[in-house]
Structure 1
Amino acid sequence: MDVRFTAAGTPLAVRYDGRVWAVAAEPLHWFTRDSWWETQRTVPVGVGNVVDIEFWRVQVKLSSNSVLRTFELRRDPLSEQWLLETITDD
């Protein structure tokens, strides 16, 4: 899965399952905290942020007349890869 962002850092489109889904509404952005001490024994000094999990909730469409779906995207600390957490039909 790939996420394309605007210059301002807002999701513009999501490539999922071989298709490009255009963001059709204002996305929602938030962070949660990871309990890294429960999942990793040690963290090297200077690694950076190991606790903030980033989320985007985006409403997307394949075309102007297709159904609206909601994708919840997650990026774990120290990762550049976005993961699809959930998909719901609206």
Structure 2
Amino acid sequence: MTLTPEAPTRTHDFQVRTDSAGKPLAIRYDGRIWIVDPDTETQHWYGRDAWWDTRRTAAVGSGDMVSIEYWRVQVRLGSDSALRTFTIRREPLATQWLLESIDDGS
């Protein structure tokens, strides 16, 4: 299953649990809890929102309105299940995560 960046998933059953530094530890998706594999490397980066396309306005001092936070993590349902790659993102100033893509390696 692969989702496209143009149509990320927004579901009520999608939540990200993070540690105190903001690194994802587990993801609830589709009624299941996917644990981030601690033995694999996670990727973390920031992209930029095309603010000129969204025409979003904000008051002075509102904060960073253009940085989109991304994480790519390897997850599994249990110790015997296959690894899958989830890419998640958070829009500027948002508290809720979006599911950008899932790659099951097939």
State TM-score, norm by structure 1: 0.92
Q: How many residues align?
A: 90
Q: Whole-Å Cα distance in 2 between the matches of residues 59 and 5 of structure 1?
A: 14
Deviation (angstroms), 1:74: 0.6
For residues 31-72 of structure 1, what are the alpha-carbon distances to aligned partners after superposition, in whole Å with 9 as ceiling and x for unaligned? 001111221253222211100000000100000011110000
Greater relative CO (CA pairs within 8 A, separation 6+): 2
User: Does residue 65 of structure 1 match 2:84?
Assistant: no
Q: What does 1:1-90 correspond to in 2, within 5 Å?
A: 1-24=14-37, 25-90=40-105
Give unmatched runs, 5+ long, in structure 1. none
State TM-score, norm by structure 2: 0.79
**CA-based RMSD:** 1.2
Which has more strand, going by share of residues? 1
Runs of 4+ that moved beyond 3 A: none
Identical counterparts, % of pairs: 59
SS at match of 1:70: strand
